[in-house]
Amino acid sequence: MFEPVPGAEASEIRFQNLFEIPLFPAPHQDARQNSWTTLADMQGLILLLKSTPARVIVEYGTGHGHATLQFALNSPDNAVIYTTDYPERASSDYICHRSAEAGKIRQSFSLTKDWDLSAIAGTVDFQFIDATHQYEEVLADSKKALSLAAPGGLICWHDYSPSWKGVVRALDELASTGLDLVKIQGINIVAYRHPRAA
């Protein structure tokens, strides 16, 4: 299902500000939301991103903008990255803006369920689902992602691990319906490649 990644040696991954965490008030976040993407998860994600290759990218849950920034650094010059977080996060500091690649980023502040991406339905090459980790919302974000995916597009989920029971329940349920989900060995990422056009 996953082909060798052309030209995506780990040494070719570009990283910037990966360990710099801005401090800002985030009263809406409970402690369990702090499941920031690790270096290993990020490396795996970027290798998957480069395997697509991804021009239209969607991220559910901007966080501090770490993954957003690495997606911008590792995508073609004409890539566009859509990302969203809670409306109350609109005034936060985002690492992804401190980059020469920031022009690729289209940032929204809406709940993922209210995020209208219908204009890019069927065109999205790479999606990263990492917003709420609650069962119903992971399922809803996954259904949205499936409707947006381009032929051959990749969808990746973060935090398929025992600490995140909602993510595990939602993805196990999707897999039981026949969706060909793959857990990437050694990291907390699950991936799915949308069928290519016949």
Does position 99 interact with ligand SAM (CB under 6 A)? The reply is no
**Measured from the CB of residue 43, what is the shortest distance to ligand SAM in angstroms?**
12
Choice between 38 and 151, CB closer to ligand SAM:
38
Q: What angle do CA 129, 130, 132 make, to 5 degrees?
A: 110
Does position 66 interact with ligand SAM (CB under 6 A)? The reply is yes
Range list of H helices, 18-110: 39-50, 66-73
Of positions 46, 56, 72, 86, contacts ligand SAM by CB under 6 A: 86
Q: What angle do CA 162, 165, 168 make, to 5 degrees?
A: 85
> What is the phi/psi pair of residue 107, to 5°?
-95, 135
Choice between 52 and 127, CB closer to ligand SAM:
127
Binding mask 143-172 for ligand SAM (x = CB under 6 A): ------------------------------
Residue partners of 32: CB distance under 8 A and separation at least 6: 133
**Measured from the CB of residue 195, what is the shortest distance to ligand SAM in angstroms?**
26
Question: How many residues in the chain?
Answer: 198
Choice between 63 and 153, CB closer to ligand SAM:
63
80: Cα within 13 Å, side-chain hemisphere: 8
Choice between 35 and 51, CB closer to ligand SAM:
35
| Residue 137 β-bridge partners | none
Binding mask 13-42 for ligand SAM (x = CB under 6 A): ----------------x---x-xxx-----
CA–CA separation, 13 vs 47, rounded Å? 8
Fill in the DSSP letter of residue 131.
S
Please list every residue from 101 through 140 that binds ligand SAM, using CB under 6 A: 111-112, 130-132, 137
| End-to-end C-alpha distance for the chain, whole angstroms | 15
- Residues engaged in binding ligand SAM (CB under 6 A): 29, 33, 35-37, 59, 61, 63, 66-67, 84-86, 89, 111-112, 130-132, 137
